Structure 1
Amino acid sequence: MEICVMTSISQASHAPRPSEARTILLQLSGQVRHAREAFFASATPETVHALRGALRRAADGVWLLQAVLPAPDVAWLRRELRWQARRLGKVRDLDVLSERLVAKHPYTGEFRPADLLIASARTRRDATVEMAKAELLSARAATLADGLEHVLLRALEAGEGRLPFDTVIANWLSQADAAIRVGEKQVMALGRRGRHKLRGHVRTLRYNCEVCSRGSPAETQYIAAVIALQTALGEMNDDAVCAGLRKNLTHCGDLDKVPGLQPSLHRIHRRELKRAWRALDALALPDFAQAQPSEPPGSSPALVSAAQALASEP
């Protein structure tokens, strides 16, 4: 996916506001802590989804603030937070499959194809949850989980003063918004991998818009459109994931008769994707940073490199 890279930024005339970066990092680390506690108390579909989302939000927040954090810390934090989030990916996929099936045909425990498939998915889920718990309790995960707040704040202290906070926010969001403006034809022509990659960029943009939002009508409308696009891309990804899972699960019966896996869903989701894209494409990126008046723009190779890295991430 191509990205429109900005080669200049506005150097804000006021001082950095590390307190705002601190607030963001404390909020993100708090979400991870609470979601982790809830997950280990009861690994329901809701707590799995919440912990996975909290870990991704924290990783994306670190990326948002990469210009005010030491580069080695950014790389390590993002790698470890995303590694933990991936431990929950297979559990989430099985939850999505079960939710789709149960929504179309409530589980009764009878020997029908849908019931057999749901039971198989739940059995696989139980085993996958135990594996995820073991990995999230490992020394690798615990090293960060036990002191995430401390690690984030120490990184902020080490990197404070490199760039004004408003400049960091405004330019990161501008570049992230440009990265998803690929055009309707390209969006609709994307295959599964392309949609998955675009969805990752959209999700990251959404999370960081939410953390920076002050709740203005323009911000609220823009975030709602980004969420709709993320959802539409996610539904199409779930189509492919569910189709693959049903082939790998132990089952009996004719799966062509299983509700919730019909090929027509893909066509429905393509129409939803088209509507979501057009809605977002009609909106401009709001000024989340609400920066003070600035001086003439200057070059920022660091932010250009950051934008290029965003475009090339898997």
Structure 2
Amino acid sequence: MQAEIELKLELSAQAAEIFAQWPPLLTLDGETATLHATYFDTPDHQLAHQGVSLRIRRSGRRRIQTVKANGRGGAGLFARDEWERPVRGDTPVLDDGNPVAALLGDAVADVVPVFAVIVERRTWLVPQDGALIELVLDRGVVRAGDREEPICEIELELKNGAPAALFALARRIDADVPVRTGVLSKSERGYRLTKALPKAHKAEPVRLDPDMTTGDAFGRIVALCLRHYRLNEGLLLEGYVPAALHQARVAIRRLRTALSLFGPLLRAEEVAGFQGELRWLAHVLGEARDLDVLSVDDAAGYAVLEAARTQAHARVLQWLGAARVRMLMLDLTQWLADGAGLGDEAAQPIAPFAADRLRKRRKRVAKGGKHMKRLSDEARHAVRKDAKKLRYASEYFGDLFPAKTARRYKRFIGKLEAMQDRLGKLNDLVTAPATLARIGLAREADMADKPKLLRAAAKAHGKLVEAQPFWS
């Protein structure tokens, strides 16, 4: 078994054509090979569910079987365990030399081909800042049954030296050819083709262990937030989809919440810099989202709204194509890989830290919404934002507390969601007129439902305050 550290970058087919002639590569000796990899699993994908991939890759007459496990590619940086061995045919060898047989038990007999990856691979060894990096350009296709998806990506694998060199090389590349951090492995791409393709990606569950350090928990949470964002950004770049934009915006909010939750352990000036850029990106996405959820009754107003939406969508795609956004994601990925400036306090167990942060977040929501009916619209919106942060924190830390609190957790989340729903409806009611006015549609605000919504929000807040915390 060996460990590998690699940074995956995605690029368009057009950009790959340009990159193949990138001047720094022209002075280096490179290799070209056609690779055909078949991925195996049980019919119900038991290996994939356990975070393991099994493939046999053929290049010429040579066949190499590879098992990869525990890949942590949430932020674009992959570090994982790997088992390799040569094989003679196209049937996997599943013995004590890798963990597959132990993981599957009797189901090992059910392993079958699931999908194939065929790429032209060009490889160079690139020196960078005293390190040596294997640079791979893969162009080809993933094929599962009668469905297929193109692949166009760069992999930077550290052979020796510091991981910072991977990011320095990525920035050199992006200066000439636009690239983005990649969060999907080839095996994930293949498995995606075996089911219906999503219009958007929701946040994946955060699995934390009570014995995990606070620093490791932070790394896992942020990596998943970056993955959540990049998966939806990828969908948006293929064609604007409102659901994908919404989830990209949710990912940014969840990431900002994570930076705030762990703020006491982080360097304030670094967090402030990232928060500023993330706030800007959230605003860019928010302008389009406000129009996506807006509705008007008359045909003339609808035409104006559709024109405004088209313009807003174009602005989103323009900004997503900008180096500012690409480098923000790369900067965050490197910051995370470098340890995010965490000090000795990050070595403490996560559970006590999480309980303290949850307690403070709950107190803030309880106090802020105490006189819900008398609050100004702005103050009530602040309570709504605090409730979102409490929910994200609860979702991050829910695994840390004993199983006996599972019901308490579900009840708490349910009451929190109920309050968010009421406050969300109130916010839509009071902000719609301003949004309409911004696009030239003056409408009188109909506030007939506001008293009823206020009562419902106050009642939901009271039930949340009465709910027993799941962390104590």
Unaligned 5+ residue runs, structure 1?
A: 1-13, 102-112, 291-314
2:429 and 2:284 map into 1 onto residues whose CA distance is 21
- 1:202 and 2:202 aligned: no
In the other structure, the counterpart of 1:272 is: 456
1:242-281 matches, within 5 Å, as 242-250=432-440, 262-281=446-465
Contact kept, 8 Å, 1:222 with 1:285, in 2: the verdict is yes
Q: Mark the CA change 1:240 to 1:265 in structure 2 (over 3 Å): closer, same or farther.
A: same
CA shift for structure 1 position 123 = 0.9
Tell me, yes or no, if structure 1 residue 162 matches structure 2 residue 352.
no
Match of 2:364 among 179, 189, 193: 179
2:323 maps to 1:139: yes
Aligned AA for 1:65? Answer: F
Maintained 8 Å contact 1:39/1:48: yes
Letter in structure 1 aligned against 2:345: R
Distance 1:180 1:270 in 2: 16
Q: 2:254 matched to which residue of 1?
A: 57
**2:125 is matched with which residue?**
none
**Alignment partner of 1:275: what SS?**
helix
* Greater shift in the superposed pair: 53-62 or 23-32: 23-32
2:171 corresponding residue in structure 1: none
CA RMSD between the two structures: 2.5
Q: Map 1:13-28 to 2 at 5 A.
A: 16-28=213-225
* Aligned equivalent of 1:236: 426
Shift of 1:85: 0.8
Aligned partner of 2:460: which letter?
Answer: A
Q: 1:1-314 alignment to 2 at 5 Å?
A: 16-98=213-295, 101=296, 114-156=298-340, 158-163=341-346, 164=348, 165-182=350-367, 186-214=371-399, 216-250=406-440, 262-287=446-471
Length, aligned pairs only: 255
| Amino acid paired to 2:215 | P
Q: Distance in 2 between matches of 1:22 and 1:152?
A: 6
TM-score (norm 2): 0.50
* CA radius of gyration, larger in: 2
Q: Deviations over 1:96-115 (max 9, x none)?
A: 213xx4xxxxxxxxxxx522
C-alpha contact (below 8 Å) 2:215/2:342 kept by paired residues:
no
State how far apart, in whole Å, the 1-side matches of 2:223 and 2:435 are. 37
Q: Report the CA distance shift for 1:15/1:41 in structure 2 as closer, same or farther (over 3 A).
A: closer
Larger strand share, 1 or 2: 2
- C-alpha distance in structure 2 between counterparts of 1:272 and 1:153, whole Å: 45
Give the number of the structure whose residues are more often helix, by fraction: 1
One-letter code aligned to 1:21: F
Question: How far, CA to CA, are the matches of 1:115 and 1:27 in structure 2?
Answer: 42
TM-score by length of 1: 0.73
For residues 17 and 145 of structure 1, the distance between their equivalents in structure 2, rounded to whole angstroms, comes to 22
Quote the Cα distance in structure 1 between the aligned partners of 2:382 and 2:427: 11
CA distance in 1, matches of 2:267, 2:369: 37
Residues 372 and 454 of structure 2 are in contact (CA less than 8 Å); yes or no, is this contact kept in structure 1? no
Please state how far the C-alpha of 1:90 moved relative to its aligned partner: 1.5
Question: Structure 1 pair 184/160, CA: closer, same or farther in 2 (3 Å)?
Answer: closer
Q: Is the 8 A contact 1:73 1:155 kept in 2?
A: no
CA distance in structure 1 between the partners assigned to 2:326 and 2:221 by the alignment: 22
CA gap 1:67/1:42 in 2 versus in 1, 3 angstroms: same
Runs of at least 5 residues in structure 2 that lack an aligned partner in the other structure: 1-210
